[in-house]
Amino acid sequence: MKTFNYTKLVAATAIIASTFSLPSIAADKVYRLKMAETWAANFPIFGDAPRNMARMAEAMSNGRLKITIDSSNKHKAALGIFDLVRSGQYDMGHSASYYWKGKVPNTLYFTTMPFGMTTPEQYGWFYHGGGMELMEKVYQPFGLLSFPGGNTGNQMGGWFQKEINSLADLKGLKMRIPGFAGEVLAKLGAKPTNIASGELYTALERRTIDALEWVGPSLDLRMGFHKIAPYYYTGWHEPSTELQFLVNERVWKKLPEDLREILRVSMKLASYDMYIQSYHESAKNWDTMKSEYPNVEVRTFPKEVLGAMREANQQLLNEKAVADPLAKEILDSQASYLEKVRVWTNISDRAYLDSLDVKLQ
């Protein structure tokens, strides 16, 4: 697991503390918080993010803020983090917002959306384009606060036991795929489902499902999907998958102001660090996959299929916006920000990558 050099964090602690009046800081009181995570014990990358956050918070608070983390092995509710934190059984949680779409539909939009923003674009929307304020609007009625909790970057489109050559190949396809992408595929005739990570390999091996998406090489290699499903499709559905830190609002308000700021900074830094770690691990693991597992064949969905996915996606977005004013507000905000930021992405990152294809004279 990653370790941090805390030299700069000690200096940051002094800066943060200096912004608050001395009476607000109870220097001798230790605040102990309990966090429940969706992930199993020792789960890499996803599980690293909350632990990195907890270590930073403790270091920056000079030991006044201590966070213990229970994995799903202990609390037995991998997809129940929302309720565990809301009820006060846990003070905090680490999971993914789109897991709660059946409970609170508008939580769906704060993980990632098909054909949506890339990770830098989405972070821009969260922190500078109104995304955080909209997320607060969704979660606060339930006594919860939600913060970005770590990004995987662009996820792969999944492992398939058979090639997808046309729309007909999606009909009746049983696929593990959560979030809005599952609704898109259902509209095209597939049968999406959500299955906990520990059950995915067995479900695919026993043909309970025909295909699955998980993350990308960063986490897929250790899961062994390449051994039973040789076709690895590129992504469309989760271009910027953001996990989340959930905080019980009553607990948040009981923290001194300086510790709230330390917690906020720790969550933000741990989230971005997970993005860097995910990118690195995907590059490293893909190098292993292509050299040691030549049976893996990378595929991109045919244009006909991608076109139908985009059309179905837009139809569903329109339906959501008509049915719920808050959903419309969120979707309008995302669409407006994407339209603006993608212009810059195209003349910066895309143009740079395209320039590498120009042959030198």
- Of the pLDDT bands very low, low, confident and very high (cuts 50, 70, 90), residue 197 is confident
pLDDT in tens, 245-304: 999 999 999 999 999 999 999 999 999 999 999 999 999 999 999 999 898 999 999 999
pLDDT in tens, 330-342: 999 999 999 999 9
pLDDT for res 348: 97
With 80 as the cut, is the pLDDT of residue 327 above it?
yes
Q: Residue 101: inside a domain, yes or no?
A: yes
Task: From residue 45, give the alpha-carbon distance in Å to each of 84, 167, 308.
Answer: 22, 34, 33
Q: Residue 286: inside a domain, yes or no?
A: no
| Cβ neighbourhood burial of 12 (10 Å; 0-12, 13-18, 19+) | middle
Of 9-23, 104-118, 149-163, which gets the smallest average pLDDT? 9-23
H helical segments located in 176-256:
179-187, 200-205, 217-223, 249-254
Of 7-16, 51-60, 157-166, 268-277, which gets the smallest average pLDDT? 7-16
What percent of the chain clears pLDDT 70, i.e. is strictly above it? 91
Residue 313 and residue 317: Cα distance in Å, rounded?
6
Of 89-93, 178-182, 203-207, 285-289, which gets the smallest average pLDDT? 178-182
Q: Residue 140: inside a domain, yes or no?
A: yes
DSSP 8-state assignment for residue 256: -
Task: From residue 327, give the alpha-carbon distance in Å to each of 33, 195, 337.
Answer: 32, 26, 15
pTM for this predicted structure: 0.88
- Of the pLDDT bands very low, low, confident and very high (cuts 50, 70, 90), residue 198 is confident
Residue 244 and residue 246: Cα distance in Å, rounded?
6
Among 54, 51, 11, CA closest to 31: 54
Q: Residue 58: inside a domain, yes or no?
A: yes
Number of domains in the chain: 1
Residue 94 and residue 34: Cα distance in Å, rounded?
11
Q: What domain range is 69 assigned to?
A: 7-151+239-280
- Of the pLDDT bands very low, low, confident and very high (cuts 50, 70, 90), residue 319 is very high
CB-facing half-sphere around the CA of 227: CA atoms within 13 A: 9
Q: Residue 173: inside a domain, yes or no?
A: no
Q: Residue 137: inside a domain, yes or no?
A: yes
Helix (H, G, I), strand (E, B) or coil at 35: strand
CB-facing half-sphere around the CA of 169: CA atoms within 13 A: 14
Task: From residue 279, give the alpha-carbon distance in Å to each of 144, 178, 208, 240.
Answer: 30, 22, 31, 12
Q: What is the mean pLDDT of residues 186-210?
A: 92
Residue 238 and residue 224: Cα distance in Å, rounded?
21
With 80 as the cut, is the pLDDT of residue 174 above it?
yes
CATH number for position 85: 3.40.190.170
Q: Residue 250: inside a domain, yes or no?
A: yes
With 50 as the cut, is the pLDDT of residue 1 above it?
no
DSSP 8-state assignment for residue 97: G
Q: Residue 243: inside a domain, yes or no?
A: yes
